Amino acid sequence: MNDEGIASVGDVPADEVGKAHNDGFEHAFERALAALDGRKYAGQWLEVHQSVLITPNPGGVGQYHVELKPKT
């Protein structure tokens, strides 16, 4: 990762999930876990930060984003 404060990131476009927002966050979380360097962060607590990208007209979620960060 470029940002030393971020252990891993998972992104999922809204068109890859159903209508339930929790599905988008679940898929993004799974991608972040898959990309995580487990050896580097073994034994550490990581915080989960979720966010969404809102699209312009008609407006709505365009992308789900999850970051795993070392707990501060």
Query: Which amino acid, 34?
Result: A
Indicate whether 49 belongs to any domain: yes
pLDDT at 1: 42
Structural domain contains residue 41: yes
Which tokens hold the place of 70? 């070392």
- pLDDT, tens digit, for every residue of 9-59? 999 999 999 889 999 999 999 999 999 999 999 999 999 999 999 998 888
- Position 61 in a domain: yes
Q: Given this model, what pLDDT does residue 2 score?
A: 43
| Residue 33, in any domain of the structure | yes
Within a domain: 52: yes
User: Does residue 46 fall inside a structural domain?
Assistant: yes
- Whether 28 maps to a domain, the answer reads yes
Domain containing 65 equals 8-70
Structurally, the chain folds into a number of domains equal to 1
What was the pLDDT predicted at 3? 59
d(CA 62, CA 28): 13
Kindly state whether residue 53 falls inside one of the protein's structural domains. yes
